[in-house]
Amino acid sequence: MSFYRDEFTARSAAVRVRFGAGVRKAVAEEIEALGARRALILTTPQQAALADDFAALCGRAAVGRFTGAAMHTPVDISEQATAVARDLGADVLVSVGGGSTTGLGKAIALRTDLPQIVVPTTYAGSEATGILGQTENGVKTTLTSPKVQPEVILYDAELVTSLPVGMTVTSALNAMAHAAEGLYARDRSPLSSLMAVEGLRAFRDSLPQVAARPYDVSARGQTLYGAWLCGTVLGQVGMALHHKLCHTLGGSFDLPHAETHAVILPHALAFNAVAVPDLLAPVTDLFGHGDPGLGLWHFARDAGAPLALRDLGLKEADLDRAADLASANPYWNPRPVTRDGIRGLLQAAWAGDRPAT
């Protein structure tokens, strides 16, 4: 199918992107290319050992480490990390990890305008965008700014070979959500749609291979290729209902980010397919089952992804409040968002039911 539109605007950020097994070892070279000399290395507490590894790779340029990155980018942690960056006189940030670490680097860059080198260890895709989500007082908000767009991304397949298969699956579905919603974004372009379909195809083909052979560097490289494509789509177009629901559930109920995306995506696509079946036809073509939501639900189930919000810790008693929050100030969406419609969607997602078609 053709994605041509009579009128469109395409956006593309100036980002240096490198792929390759072992490319992380070029981090010192990238620091020098940016004209920087004092790197602050960022990770989560769970990945603190990686901070040591990257300190060695950065050599004399490594001036400090902050290993407190947390899910949903809490503002108080961002303020602490920014103070560390300023105290050290850092002139570049090296963010090693998934969405939590990338988010922290962006939050520091927002406050300091420091350049960022991101080395992803998951498939979140945030590294390819100028979007930052932050959480304060139980509410997650997002902003878009060129100040938070990373300057360099190093996609090293060797770094993701040890990512557990379960986390691989949920992180992949998180990335796939960016591409799927990009297909019906009101500001979509032929470029963003082509990248969305190619990103979804890359994950469809490579994720089963990774599940069967987690240490297959070639298959892992293809998943990173999918992550970059899907993340780039996220950076070019606006998101809709799916992302609003996930931001609500993550920011207000502290549900895990990638797992929430994995559960919600089939239901959000089924909800919107009623309004834009033609725009979601590529998803149906890729995943089958005659409906984009149902096709992705089967793909997620077969991959071993979580299917129910109740398994992530959400209580059924919380569904009414979640519906209220998600339907208040909704993102633009191709199908009108009503409180009752969202409540029904959340009920099915909470129970782990097949999405309504």
Q: What is the pLDDT of residue 139?
A: 80
Backbone angles phi, psi at 100, to 5 degrees: -65, -45
Q: What is the pLDDT of residue 141?
A: 86
Task: Output the average pLDDT for the chain.
Answer: 94
Could you tell me whether strands 139-144 and 131-136 are parallel, antiparallel, or unpaired per DSSP bridges? Answer: antiparallel
Which run of H or of E encompasses 141? strand 139-144
The string of pLDDT tens digits covering residues 210-245 is 999 999 999 999 999 999 999 999 999 999 999 999
User: Contact 258/174 with Cβ under 8 angstroms?
Assistant: yes
Which run of H or of E encompasses 41? strand 39-42
> What does the alpha-carbon distance between residue 61 and residue 131 come to, in Å, rounded to a whole number?
27
Backbone angles phi, psi at 150, to 5 degrees: -60, 145
The answer, yes or no, to whether residue 284 has pLDDT greater than 90, is: yes
Could you tell me whether strands 39-42 and 62-66 are parallel, antiparallel, or unpaired per DSSP bridges? Answer: parallel
The answer, yes or no, to whether residue 17 has pLDDT greater than 90, is: yes
User: Contact 44/101 with Cβ under 8 angstroms?
Assistant: yes
Q: How many beta carbons lie within 10 A of that of residue 216, not counting itself?
A: 16
pLDDT band at 342 (very low <50, low <70, confident <90, very high): very high
Token duo for residue 164: 């557990």
Three-state DSSP at 53 gives helix
Q: What is the pLDDT of residue 13?
A: 76
The answer, yes or no, to whether residue 4 has pLDDT greater than 70, is: no
What is the b/e burial string over 272-282, where b = at least 16 CB atoms within 10 angstroms of the residue's CB?
bbeebeebbeb
Q: What predicted TM-score, i.e. pTM, was given to this entire model?
A: 0.91
Task: Write the DSSP assignment of 263-308 as a string of letters.
Answer: HHHHHHHHHHHTT-TTTTHHHHHHH-TTSHHHHHHHHHHHHT----
